[in-house]
Structure 1
Amino acid sequence: MTSSLTLTPGNYQRILLIVDPTLRRTPAFERAAWLARASGASLHMVLFDRNRVIAAAEKLDHSESKMARESWIGEKIARLKEETMLLARDGVSATSEVVWTRSLLEEILIHVQEYQPDLVIKDTTHENLIKRVLLTPLDWHLLRDCPVPLLLVNSLAHALPKRIVAAVDIQPTSAAVEVLNDQIIHAALSLALQSDAELHLAHCFEVAAAIPMDPMGTGVEMAAELYATLEAIAIDNFAAICDRYGVAAERRHFLPGAPGLALAEFARGDNSDVIVIGAEHHTAMDRAMLGTSGESILQNAPCNVLAVKRAT
């Protein structure tokens, strides 16, 4: 990036890690610790969980179950305190807590509002047999409702981000899209600065499916001309966005095809570590809030995904 960039991101100040219930050093844990160390940010690790057996027993014997709950929470707190001490030895300012809850989403969003992190980090699962990232219902709700950038880390991602791809839209007349593009690039650049990573911009051009074709072949030439016209407009609009942010020519990627597959294939071939996308509401359905393109990106990405919600 050059000095003509209009955004001025700084170092992360606060990072919130949603701790895996197993309390293992998962890929999200490692990424959060590394980013905190690199940026000097404080790292707050929170386990949101409960023991269902103890919770059920509370209905029968409150005094005994209360002691069992306190013991269970105490064990988790002790484990996390061990991790905070190890992180402190490595130069990371870390704190931790355990939240007993049956409403994961509500508690997480409360903590996000109270802690005001620059970044929330959470693990996802990558299933090798079907080569897809498996997102839980909680992941989808967080993508819809988390007010700050959310980094979903899958188990196959590289440990350290060195190549980050921000996926932008190019609708020239939409103020909402322009705002979201700004926030996507701002979040991508912030992550790139913490990681000393390359920042690339990408746009997926999928217009052929929207051009009606006669099965008999009538109008093929007209359709081809329309495609060429729309493609030229899209290329110009994408170039304008890249120019605005001072993106070098070798870091501009105009990709033909459906966004989900095109971005995933590009990230795989280009060894990208993070894809940055906009988390935008499109319908009332939870999984449609990113649209089918966003869902496809999340499910097929061979790397981590940073989702950015447009500020309202």
Structure 2
Amino acid sequence: MTAQTDFHLPVGTTTSGAWETIIDPGTREGWTYTGLRILALDPGADETWTAEGVEVMVVPLNGACTVAVAGTTYELRGRRDVFESATDVLYAPVGAELRISSTDGGRFALATAVAATEHPVALIRAEDVPVEIRGGGQMTRQVRNFGTVGSFDAMDSLIACEVITPGGNWSSYPAHKHDETIEDPEHPESELEEIYYYEIQAAPTGTPGFGYHQTTSSGADKPIDILTEVRTGDTVLVPHGWHGPCAAAPGHDMYYLNVMAGPAPERAWNITDHPDQTWVRGTWEAAGPDPRLSRP
């Protein structure tokens, strides 16, 4: 059985060469469908990687890059950091060989999921990413839906998005789960693994920020109990269970990249709220959105 500590991977836990983080599906006990790689490139450097058995979305975290795949080179304009804005994203299909290079250097996330069908390469521009303000009051967050169901569907199983939570706010709240298949048309649920990759905004003085992540058991057959401090570069794996809330410490905005996939042939994101917390959804409208967040 995988130890509880194996679900929180602090920055530096899985590294190799230019790869700051390596989580591949099928290479960890109990982890089957999703993956994440964080690539750090020095100015003028490049890295070649093949999507063996997986499809991939390349997401610049900071800096711009070019990605050569299937004989074509794509320019991803990138951004200063994850808190600035949405970014250009590139989708590449299972089996594709990617050569990623950066003139000025930067860090780039590769979100992956097990796939069988080859889909066309697709460049999604930042201005075309649907941006959603979700929640209300201190539960407000911004969701950038570049790879969610209904936003981009020309892929097998991968679901991905970014979330910005202002300092002092809570997100992934109410806590929710998606760890079993429920075909009830009134309350469906999809079985999905999920990865949370975190970056936390530093203080004005440069000292590092922090936040908290929680995952708890959703049944006797799904034991898990995590309440952990997260910092920039940390990853938390959610194989099952109620996940959330994620809390951003006051003064430190929180970013996380979500990567999801599961065993079902249909790519879907259906969740079940924690029954003790679902009532908070009814408070969002009266509270109104946090004015620190905007749609662009």
Report which of the two structures shows the higher radius of gyration computed on alpha carbons: 1
Give the TM interval when normalised to the shorter protein.
under 0.3
Higher strand share: 2
**TM-score, normalising length: structure 1:** 0.26
**TM-score, normalising length: structure 2:** 0.27
